Amino acid sequence: MKTQGAITTIDRQEFFRLVGVSIGAIVLQQCLSGCNTSGSDPQPAQTPSDFSINVNNANFTVLRNAGGFVRSNGLIIARTNQGGFIAVSQACTHEGTLVNFVSSNNTFLCPNHGSVFSSAGEVQNGPATKPLTVYKTTFDASTGDVRVFI
Ligand code: FES
């Protein structure tokens, strides 16, 4: 870099070095922000093998009612019309879209391409070919705790 009076000049090699560093910084920033896992990412890196939620917690009160379902720790946890609980992996095994609970027949429907999974996680309708992972559940009515575990 040379200064001549009030004018500062840089040679071509330095110019390209500075531009290269700037572009590299921008690309790195974009890449890192694209890898951000906070916010609405529904899939945690790993679902815990044993956790509890409580139906008295404001985030889960929908589970007090038959047909309600919530998402937690990468799973969809549903209350059946018979009063039981079902917990399965929430990502469709076809392309990862979040499945929804269909309380009328205790199945899970993928809104993307229509795959249907039974309450046991098995594929009833494709294009998915692999089952959802099923977790066991217990419910303590005295505390409102729903334990979800493998
Ligand atoms: S992503 Fe679920 S059926 Fe295609």
In this structure, the answer to whether residues 65 and 29 fall within a common structural domain is: no
Confirm whether 67 is domain-assigned: yes
**Distance in Å, CA 138 to ligand 1 centroid:** 29
* pLDDT for residue 104: 95
The amino acid occupying position 39 is G
Shortest-distance Cα residue to atom 1 of ligand 1 = 95
Question: The domain containing residue 81 runs over which residues?
Answer: 50-149
Confidence at residue 47, expressed as pLDDT on a 0 to 100 scale: 82
- 71: in domain: yes
Give the residue-averaged pLDDT of 113-121.
97
| pLDDT greater than 60 at residue 136 | yes
Binned at pLDDT 50, 70 and 90, residue 1 comes out as low
The stretch 41-61 carries a mean pLDDT of 83
- Mean pLDDT of all residues in 30-49: 52
In the chain, what percentage of residues exceed pLDDT 90?
A: 68
Q: Determine the distance separating the centroid of ligand 1 and the alpha carbon of 6, expressed in angstroms.
A: 63
pLDDT of residue 46: 81
- Find the CATH number of the domain harbouring 134: 2.102.10.10
Q: How many domains does the chain have?
A: 2
For ligand 1, whether the C-beta of 91 sits within 6 Å is no
Whole-prediction pTM value?
A: 0.70
Residues 74 and 28 in one domain: no
Q: Indicate whether 104 belongs to any domain.
A: yes
Is residue 40 pLDDT above 50, yes or no? no
pLDDT at site 107: 97
- Residues 58 and 111 placed together within one structural domain of the fold: yes
> Do both 76 and 6 map to the same domain?
no
Nearest residue by C-alpha to atom 3 in ligand 1: 113
Q: What is the average per-residue pLDDT within 91-100?
A: 97
